[in-house]
Structure 1
Amino acid sequence: MTPYIADADAWQESWDRQQEAYLPDREHRFTTMLDAVDAIRDTAPPRLLDLAGGTGTISLRALRRFPDAEVTLVDLDPALLALATASLGDRAAIVSADLGKPDWPAALPHRRYDAVLTATALHWLPADRLATLYAEIRDLLRPGGLLVNADHMPDDALPELTKRLLARAEERRTARYAAGAVPSWSQWWDQAAQDPVLRPLVEQRQVIYPSGHSPEWTPPVSWHLDALTDAGFREVGTLWRGGADAAVVAVR
């Protein structure tokens, strides 16, 4: 049974601030993702899969944009899933599944989706697993459905400028941490571990991820486009770019 979290909105706000320290244009990328969903949806309510959805960031924004959408959120982190459940209630199906294993689709309530959306979440998967996951996602999409993955995806043609952009972003982020403007990733989790409701879930998380996620792996956007093409999508491209980040889109 999912524990009751009375202050879920406050935790969502805190999560947003922590994430925005890394991703100042975070809301812009979400809007672009949902614009793509709007472009391919038909008269029926869109059926959306929020992949590695964490606290429900994408799901919450999708339901504001498309109130009648059928939303499924998948993640493995028990603390983040509890926050998603508290925030989304019965407006979304919340599923615990491990994307690192090929049987994860068996846990889903549907076998076909109009769109699969994910952001800043799949960089912890190794290359071979992510390439396979792209093919698994294709099989879940209806013809004409799409996948959007927004993540750290540098531009191959701008290696030196990308280094400078990342260095400047780190300087700004460090200054914000020092001023107490936002919590860092580790500070956010330390705060969650002190909350009486979230504490046991954070402890469960530490069992699932004893050394944290795998080291971040950030191939250039061209790698993703090639992997999506190899996975059998008929259209692939870059939907959005901001600095060293991008959102790739693939249409079945």
Structure 2
Amino acid sequence: MPENAVVSDERTRVDWTEWQRRWDDQQTGYLPHREARFEAMFDVLAEVLPEDFVALDLAGGPGSLGRRLLARFPAATCVSVDFDPVLLEIGRQSSTDLGDRLRFVDADISRPDLLDLLGLDQVDAVLSSTALHWLPPHALVALYGRMGTLLRPGGILLNADNIPFGRERGRFQEMAEARRARHAVAAFGADMVSGWRAFWEAAEAEPALAAVSAERNRRFADLDRSHAEPILALHLAALSDAGFGAVEVVWQEFDDRVIAAIR
């Protein structure tokens, strides 16, 4: 039997919806207000955009945000871009019911040629959830500039993430981190990274994900996370400099925030 036929057979045996659930469960263990954060984003979209908008989800993983978005807005479409081949595979396989309403693109969002890779002229909304903290400050500033070009006038960018109050680890940041740690301990026990680690160990053990797991390991082998995460003031200033006329924090639970910026 040809190798591609074996891979196809393995994929049909996998419960891809269960893999989506696994991802959501471990994410919620670290982000207890994740669903409220999604709803806040969608409430803003409902106020600003018509029903048939086009959205771009930056670093959208397996499409968790995109699926919820399209359930809330049946006339909308979404393009989800990510560089993790495992999450892209889970997203594509678990979203076949949505047809071309949810499209996945394999690309690094920090690339200077990102707009060319997306194949989009303009979009009405740019969304991101628990992702942009991975970018060093200079890459974040550049990405916001590119999104300012891609968004149509009147379009909106919504970034949901844990965003530090400031560069110094002051009292409010300490409270936010302690609170987040308590939630993680309640979900996963004293070894707070066990939820994240268990997901990826299970993914590597899944035959249908073997090839993309190997590719993931290759892509991220030299990942450098030595940079400091961009602070709130940097996000707000970078969006203003990128040409967004209205920039505000529209939802917040300690340092868990949704920043909204209207083009």
Spell out the pairing of 1:93-104 with structure 2 (5 A cutoff): 93-104=103-114
Distance 1:179 1:132, change over 3 A: closer
Deviations 1:174-227 (A, max 9, x none): 343238999511111011100111122111001110044634743331211011
> Runs of at least 4 residues of structure 1 off by over 4 A?
179-183
1:23: Cα distance to partner?
0.5
Aligned to 1:17: 25
Corresponding letter in the other structure for 1:163: E
After TM superposition, the structure 1 stretch with the greater mean CA deviation from structure 2, 9-18 or 105-114, is: 105-114
Q: Secondary structure at the match of 1:111?
A: coil
Equivalent residues of 2:56, 2:123 under 8 A apart:
yes
Root-mean-square deviation over aligned CA pairs: 2.3
Q: Which amino acid is 1:203 matched to? A: A
Q: TM-score, normalised by structure 2?
A: 0.88
Does structure 2 retain, via aligned residues, the 8 Å contact 1:56–1:84? yes
Matching residue within 126, 132, 146 for 2:142: 132
Q: How is 1:66-105 mapped onto 2 (pairs within 5 angstroms)?
A: 66-89=73-96, 90=99, 91-105=101-115
- Matches of 2:183 and 2:44, distance apart in 1: 31
CA distance in 2, matches of 1:7, 1:182: 25
Equivalent of 2:72 in 65, 68, 72:
65
Inter-partner Cα distance in structure 2 for 1:85 and 1:126: 28
From the superposition, tell whether residues 153 and 180 of structure 1 become closer, same or farther in structure 2 (CA, over 3 Å).
closer
- Give the match for residue 52 of structure 1: 59
Quote the residue 1:199 is aligned against. 210
The alignment covers a number of residue pairs equal to 251
- Unpaired runs of 5+ residues, structure 2, are none
Q: 1:185 and 2:193 equivalent? A: no
Give, in whole Å, the separation in 1 of the partners of 2:224 and 2:95: 25
1:119 pairs with 126, 129, 132, which one?
129
Q: CA deviation at 1:96?
A: 0.9
Q: How does 1:34-53 map to 2 (within 5 A)?
A: 34-42=42-50, 45-53=52-60
CA distance change for structure 1 residues 72 and 17 in 2, over 3 Å: closer, same or farther? same
Partner of 2:249: 238
Q: Which amino acid aligns with 1:60?
A: R
Question: Letter of the aligned partner of 1:184 in structure 2?
Answer: G
Q: Distance in 1 between matches of 2:131 and 2:48?
A: 24
The percent of aligned pairs where both chains have the same amino acid is 37
* 1:142 and 2:152 matched: yes
Q: Determine if contact 2:184/2:192 at 8 Å carries over to the other structure.
A: no
Give 5+ residue unaligned stretches, structure 1: none
Q: Could you list the per-position Cα deviations for residues 147-170 of structure 1 after superposition, in whole angstroms to 9, with x for gaps in the alignment?
A: 011111133499203202312321
Q: TM-score, normalised to structure 1's length? A: 0.92
Indicate the structure with greater helix content.
Answer: 2
Q: Quick one: distance in 2 between partners of 1:172 and 1:149? A: 22
Counterpart Cα distance in 2 of 1:210 and 1:203: 10
Query: What SS class does the counterpart of residue 184 from structure 1 fall into?
Result: helix
